[in-house]
Amino acid sequence: MALPPLYKYLDVRGAKLTLGNQCFRFAKPSEFQDNTDMKAEGLFSDELDEALATMPDSFVDAIMTNLYAPPTCPANLRPGVVKMQAVLRAHPEVAPAVKEGLRKDPEKAGLGLERWKERAGAFVNETNDFLQNYRVLCVTTDKASDRMWKEYAQADQGIALRLTPSIEKDSKFLKFAPVNYLEKRPPVFAKTVEFAAESLFGNQTERARATLHGIIYAKTNPYKFESEYRLAIPLGEGEEDYRTLPYHPEELGELYLGAAMTAADKEEIVALAKALNAAIAVFQARRGKDGQITFDEA
């Protein structure tokens, strides 16, 4: 899918560094303005006690829908799962009784509430800690956002740059993806039965990838004004921390100067941009009496 026009807002200092050093600065999730961004809300969408109470039923339902699937859970759990599959294949009618037995003595089956609360909390914390290894670049599809110019471009003193990822050079910036805006942060799993099925039979690598993607590319509705796309790249094992990523000069095709930019900053920033890409188009932002932002060729 082709990317829409993408823009990066920068304050004056960020503009000079980005143009002068020919690279964008990545952020760590812990530095985001929204301190809940790139965090899992919880293991499930329901309240934890309520969700965990359904765990015995969920595990039996997961086995019933995967009677012939090879278990991918930890090796010490597989014999019990295989045995349960055999029983339910031969006598599917006993499933309600099995559920009832697990509900009566969940501790014996390893489904005790307190144990799973502890595991759920640990899993969410581990997921959120892992997400701190990502380096993120955020852009927007809206170059004329009043709030973005105020909050991310130093109250109209900064700039916006249009970034057009190079297809010919297989640019990493082609991997930008849209952010989904939600009422609340997404959980790791929507339902306990999904957790049970994935835990017992899922592709653990694919599950982790899908789970992380859903959390990384989600924000809450108060940030919908940002119209954000983001690029999130994890640090490799043993890889030295990095905070910048170079771009190709031709990937910056348009420069938008803030309506309140000083003449001195304008002169310096335009010179840096032209030295980088002589063909860059330069526009001056204007604010109308109604506050609406428009642009003139500079």
Alpha-carbon distance 259 to 39, whole Å? 35
> pTM for the complete prediction?
0.79
CA angle 206–208–213, rounded 5-degree value: 95
99 found inside a domain: no
Domain extent at residue 29 = 6-35+133-184+218-297
Query: pLDDT at position 245, please?
Result: 93
Enumerate residues 6+ apart whose C-beta is below 8 A from 256: 7, 143, 159, 160, 161, 162, 283, 284, 285, 295
Q: Is residue 163 part of a domain?
A: yes
Domain presence at residue 10: yes
| Structural domain total, the chain | 1
pLDDT of residue 194: 80
* Residue 210 is assigned to a structural domain of this protein: no
CA 17, 18, 21, 25 torsion: positive or negative?
positive
Q: Which amino acid is at 235?
A: L
Residue 94 inside a domain? The answer is no
Given this model, what pLDDT does residue 113 score?
66
Residue 104 has what pLDDT? 82
pLDDT of residue 204: 59
Residue 83 placed within a domain: no
Q: Which helix (H) or strand (E) holds 126?
A: helix 113-131
Is the C-alpha dihedral spanning 221, 226, 227, 233 positive or negative? negative
In a domain, 173, yes or no: yes
CA distance 288 to 22: 33
In a domain, 262, yes or no: yes
From first to last of its 298 residues, what are the pLDDT tens digits of the chain?
Answer: 789 999 999 999 999 999 999 999 999 888 887 878 888 777 777 677 777 778 888 889 999 999 999 998 878 888 988 999 999 999 999 999 988 888 887 776 666 667 767 767 777 787 888 888 899 999 999 999 999 999 999 999 999 999 999 999 999 999 999 999 999 888 877 777 887 887 788 775 666 667 788 889 999 999 999 999 999 999 887 888 888 999 999 999 999 999 999 999 999 999 999 999 999 999 999 998 888 999 999 8
